[in-house]
């Protein structure tokens, strides 16, 4: 799939836009796929001091180009890591408050950034489609200081309601997340193949803040299952640069994740 410019794939666009959200000397908890690519790209561009945490229980890996991990628990994910604390203890570092940013994807998302990766349709016991489950996504979204969601933008994913809240965003909006006991964090950004979204501070409803080049608000509306709020200061993102794309393709020459 080409998006946001000639020859740029959906995952390349997500990785580039995701990488730009990260700052130097941050700690980031990253899931497999585009989030991992985004973190690795940021490390090699503007954020050399970024420390990555991976849910297999890995701190500070430096992945080998051409040998990117398929899962967050296999040997490639730990390549040249600084520490392997174990899975439970890695997440407990997030619960303690050491993780600035969490980076996850999602199968189904609603206007409050709630994610469903468990079960679609029917009941939980007898779903129409059983998905793989939370893995670490619920913990990342619950325990990091802020969370960025990276996802392909499709109408079936951007849904009026989610059938099951695997990973809580702002729940029903307003103060509901805090009231549920989630005292920290929350979803700050949703990076999609069409643009960048934030959340309205009071209602916590998703709001379009930037469009990728060549994408219109109408296109976003047509691909979203809920009303799209649009920021008064809507901007356009800068397309991926040759340098950014070059680094991604150097990291993943076989284009396994791009």
Partner 1 sequence: MTISPREYDFQAARGRLERKTKSSGEKLTTLEDAVARVADGDHLAFGGCLFSRTPLALIRALLRRRPKGLSISRNLMCYEGEWCMVAGAVDKVVTSWMGIGLPWGLSKIVREYVESGRVPVEEWSHLGLGLRYRAAAMGVPFLPALTMLGSSLVDVGGSKIIDCPYTGEKLLAVPALFPDVALLHVHRADRFGNCQIDGYAHMDADISRAAATVLVTAEEIVSEEEIRRTPDRTIIPGFIVDALVHVPHGAYPHECYGLYDAEPDHFGAYVESINARGSAAVQEYLDRYVYGPATYAEYLALFGTTALEEAERRGKELVS
- Residues near partner 1 (CB under 8 A) are 32-33, 55-57, 67, 70-71, 73-76, 78-79, 84-88, 91-92, 95, 118, 122, 124-139, 142-143, 164-168, 171, 176-177, 180-184, 256
Token digits of residue 98: 């050491």
Q: How far is the CB of 2 from partner 1 (least distance, A)?
A: 21
Pick 78 or 220: Cβ nearer partner 1: 78
Rounded least distance, CB 170 to partner 1, Å: 10
CA atoms of 99 and 197, how far apart (whole Å): 22
Instruction: Kindly tell me which of 172 and 243 has the beta carbon lying closer to partner 1.
Output: 172
Please state the closest distance from residue 75 (CB atom) to partner 1, in A: 4
Least distance (Å) between residue 112 CB and partner 1 = 11
- The β-bridge partners of 198 are 207
Query: What are the structure tokens assigned to 163, written together?
Result: 């059938």
Instruction: Give the whole-angstrom CA distance, residue 4 versus residue 211.
Output: 9
Tell me how far apart the alpha carbons of residues 39 and 53 are, in angstroms, rounded to a whole number.
Answer: 10
| Separation of alpha carbons 147 and 184, rounded Å | 11
Task: Write out the two tokens for 229.
Answer: 């709020």
- Is the Cβ of residue 181 or residue 201 nearer to partner 1 in the bound state? 181
Report in angstroms how near the CB of residue 177 gets to partner 1 at its nearest: 6
Q: What is the CA radius of gyration of the chain?
A: 17
**Residue 55 among the catalytic residues:** yes
Q: Are 48 and 42 in contact (CB under 8 A)?
A: no
CA distances from 152 to 9, 190, 192, 194 (A): 11, 10, 5, 8
Q: Active site residue: 12, 55, 209, 244, which one? A: 55
The set of catalytic residues is 55
């Amino acid at each position: 799939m080409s998006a946001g410019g000639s020859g740029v794939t959906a995952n390349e666009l997500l990785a580039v836009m995701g990488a730009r959200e990260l700052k130097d000397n941050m700690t980031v908890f990253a899931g497999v796929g585009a989030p991992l690519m985004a973190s690795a790209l940021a490390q090699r561009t503007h954020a050399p001091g970024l420390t990555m945490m991976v849910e297999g229980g890995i701190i500070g890996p430096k992945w080998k180009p051409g040998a990117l991990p398929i899962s967050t628990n296999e040997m490639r994910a730990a390549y040249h890591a600084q520490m392997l604390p174990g899975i439970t203890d890695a997440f407990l570092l997030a619960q303690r408050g050491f993780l600035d940013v969490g980076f996850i994807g999602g199968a189904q998302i609603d206007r409050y950034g709630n994610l469903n990766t468990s079960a679609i349709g029917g009941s939980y016991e007898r779903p129409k489609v059983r998905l793989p489950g939370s893995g670490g996504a619920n913990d990342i979204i619950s325990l990091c200081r802020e969370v960025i969601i990276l996802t392909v933008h499709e109408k079936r994913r951007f849904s009026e309601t989610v059938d099951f809240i695997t990973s809580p965003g702002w729940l029903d909006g307003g103060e509901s997340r805090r009231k549920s006991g989630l005292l920290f964090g929350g979803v700050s950004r949703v990076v999609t193949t069409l643009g960048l979204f934030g959340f309205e501070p009071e209602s916590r409803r998703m709001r379009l803040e930037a469009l990728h080049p060549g994408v219109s608000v109408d296109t976003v509306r047509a691909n979203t299952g809920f009303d799209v709020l649009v920021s008064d200061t809507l901007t356009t993102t800068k397309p991926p640069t040759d340098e950014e794309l070059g680094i991604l393709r150097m990291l993943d020459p076989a284009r396994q994740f791009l």
